[in-house]
Amino acid sequence: NCVLPGVIRTPMTSDYIDNHYDKVIRAIPMKRVGTTQEVAYSILFLCSNMASYITGVKNPTLSRIISSASEIS
């Protein structure tokens, strides 16, 4: 499994977010930029016993890409 956060404000992304804020926000369903602390809390939850029944989710887009690639081989 992996964690796939959306747009997160970090020292590396801050300038881009600030310079393209409207464009960035339009692309985010929650209409705000996430924080590193929010990502850390999500990971802590997934590592805890409270998430013992979570097994992951199948990404339909990724599944189509993998299927297409296997048809080419």
pLDDT tens, the chain, 73 aa long: 678 888 999 999 999 999 999 999 998 888 999 999 999 999 999 899 998 888 776 656 655 555 555 554 4
Query: What pLDDT does 24 receive?
Result: 92
What pLDDT, on a 0 to 100 scale, did the predictor assign at position 20? 95
Beta carbons of 50 and 56 less than 8 angstroms apart: no
Please report which residue ranges of the chain form alpha helices under DSSP H.
Answer: 14-19, 21-26, 36-47, 60-72
What local confidence, expressed as pLDDT, does residue 52 receive?
Answer: 86
> What pLDDT is recorded for position 38?
94
Q: How many CA atoms lie within 13 A of 49 on its CB side?
A: 0
Question: What 8-state DSSP symbol labels residue 8?
Answer: B
**Helix, strand, or coil here: 39?**
helix
Any long-range contacts for 13-20 (C-beta under 8 Å, 24+ apart)? none
pLDDT of residue 73: 41
